[in-house]
Amino acid sequence: MFLAGSAAIVLGTCSSTSSDGAATTPPVSTEPPDTDPATTTPSTDATMPPTLTDAPTTEPMVTAVASPETPSPPGLTTDPFTLGVASGDPDTTSVILWTRLAPDPLRGGGMPDEDVLVAWELAASDTFATLLAAGTATATTDHAHSVHVTATPPAGADADAELFYRFRVGDFTSPVGRTRIAPTSAVASASFVSASCQNYEDGFYTAHRDIADQQLDFVVWLGDYIYEGASQEIGAAGAVRSHGTPEPKDLAGYRDRYALYKLDEHLRAAHQSCPWFVIWDDHEVENNYAATTPQDPAETDGFVARRQAAYQAWWEHQPVRLDPPAAAGEYRISRAIQWGDLIGMSLLDTRQYRTDQACGDITFSLDPPCAETFDDDRTLTGTEQEQWLFDTIGKQGTVWNVIGQQVVMADISLNGAILNYDQWDGYPKNRERILRHLADNAVPNAIVLSGDIHLAGVAVLRAGAAIGGADGTPVAVEFVDTSISSGGLVPPETADLVKSFKEIVDVELAHRGYTMHTVTPSTWTATYRIVEDALIADSTVSTYGRFIVDAGTAAARIG
């Protein structure tokens, strides 16, 4: 059942749970990031995120704890922390700390075939002079020697302070990460990033370099962390890097693909800079899959096992407050998070429960949609997740109420023709039920965060609107992230056409990047950061534009 094992996370920076019940906490800044860093240049130290300007100069008065010793396993002679560290899913008492031991990351990890004891440390400064908490966790062979630790600062520690963490195995010490737990009191301001879509072959992770340079409370990752395609040669089809392996279809293949992505220094730095909340889209398994239906019907046999392997590898490589997948059935990743009294967020899964795409999943067709498109039982969320959303959104007592999900919710049909059946346009009845719920229940200050389509966009969502029309009731503002590196899907020369769609406020089709959100009780400001050229490793990053939602309205104005 969908509701079994439901997870509610209180957002301080972010919160998550792990298979062993361990939690970690990302650092949260109470001040918004610089309002307009016009451009940035490469960081000189990708192993350590920048120091927050409000970092404490003294450690809190708490009882110091001793760091445990861990023996070096036989045969471990090189650094096992090649994939870095990460934190995520913070709540008001703890945060999830993650690492994976992988001295030979692209060949299965290279660890001895035995479980390994890993020490972890949590401190109030990056000197680790006084430890706030410490312990050991077991990196098991069954889970690729990954570790998910629930780290809890002691009573007496400053709940609003940034925290630092690291891991040790024998004589090896990991890079240092920064994190924090979620706030429990009133929040005057929060800053975070929403991002998605980072095809390794399509471009460099310049955007992650820029994310690491911001003073963020957390990152919300909206899917397509890896891409499953077979490798291309550098230069072929514009590839600037190569996956180097065939398309992954089993656990070993997916593990190596994640390892390749996490070897990128800028992605590692972005993870080390603050806690993340992570959900998936399709490429973590296979492009445009729907529930247990693969993109290619010829691959139906064995697809459930492939999906299970992909889900396990996802868990092994993300700092999530979730148990590992137990079987080939449902694996629930949707969860509710909260950042004090300011932000309540429902994170959805729009892949695992969806009805297969209608009309043969055609794209950019100008023909009228086929009849099945409008079946009442067609769903993107599944009925139980839809009800969970209704029971959650607007019920957390926060100023802003957010839906974090994968695909574009705005109506971008053209003269009645549906251009992309993979997004919400292909599931209009499910979309209308959600928008109607927001309207009927007067859910205040609703924001939708989306990714997937590799363009930056702003839209006003309306309940009760006819397909392609603007006659409904405005109920939410949608901010669509462009991709970190994945190539554009909509030609830039069509920008004026896209802007003419009734619900669209603005779009930027030509660049890669991410969206930075600065939130106060009175305004929500979305700043679109774009990379000049993701095909150039040291490209600059600048601000395309800012869009502001005033509390009490469902409209976006240019900032």
Are the C-beta atoms of 465 and 479 separated by less than 8 Å? no
Residue 196 has pLDDT above 50, yes or no: yes
Are the C-beta atoms of 126 and 116 separated by less than 8 Å? no
Looking at the chain, how many residues does it have? 559
Give dist(CA 542, CA 508) in Å, integer. Answer: 13
pLDDT of residue 35: 39
Are the C-beta atoms of 57 and 127 separated by less than 8 Å? no
Are the C-beta atoms of 270 and 213 separated by less than 8 Å? no
| CATH superfamily membership of 7-558 | Alkaline phosphatase D (PhoD) (3.60.21.70)
Burial of 99 (0-12, 13-18, 19+ CB in 10 A): buried
Closest listed residue to residue 360, CA positions, set 429, 288, 468: 288
Give dist(CA 30, CA 53) in Å, integer. Answer: 11
Are the C-beta atoms of 129 and 62 separated by less than 8 Å? no
pLDDT of residue 25: 34
- DSSP symbol at 89: B
Residue scoring higher pLDDT (215 or 379): 379
Least trusted range by pLDDT, from 24-28, 36-40, 223-227: 24-28
| pLDDT band (50, 70, 90) for residue 63 | low
* Domain spans in the chain, listed from the N-terminal domain onward: 7-558
Are the C-beta atoms of 457 and 507 separated by less than 8 Å? yes
The dihedrals phi and psi of 380, each to the nearest 5 degrees, come to -100, -30
Least trusted range by pLDDT, from 26-30, 228-232, 514-518, 521-525: 26-30
3-state SS assignment for residue 61: coil
Token duo for residue 229 = 């395609």
- Strand 541-550 to strand 557-558: parallel, antiparallel, or no bridges (unpaired)? antiparallel
Are the C-beta atoms of 545 and 528 separated by less than 8 Å? yes
Token duo for residue 216 = 């963020």
Could you read off the pLDDT of 266-301 as tens digits, one per residue? 999 999 999 999 999 999 999 999 999 999 999 999
Give dist(CA 353, CA 292) in Å, integer. Answer: 9
Residue at token pair 């029971």: 391
Least trusted range by pLDDT, from 21-25, 203-207, 249-253, 443-447: 21-25
| 57 alpha carbon, distance to own chain's centre | 31
Q: What does pTM read for this prediction?
A: 0.90
Give dist(CA 376, CA 390) in Å, integer. Answer: 18
Give dist(CA 487, CA 252) in Å, integer. Answer: 27
3-state SS assignment for residue 266: helix
Could you read off the pLDDT of 368-407 as tens digits, one per residue? 999 999 999 999 999 999 999 999 999 999 999 999 999 9
- DSSP symbol at 37: -
Neighbours of 469 (CB within 10 A): 14
Closest listed residue to residue 321, CA positions, set 501, 95, 554: 95
Region 481-510: mean pLDDT is 96
| pLDDT band (50, 70, 90) for residue 338 | very high
Neighbours of 236 (CB within 10 A): 10
| pLDDT band (50, 70, 90) for residue 73 | confident
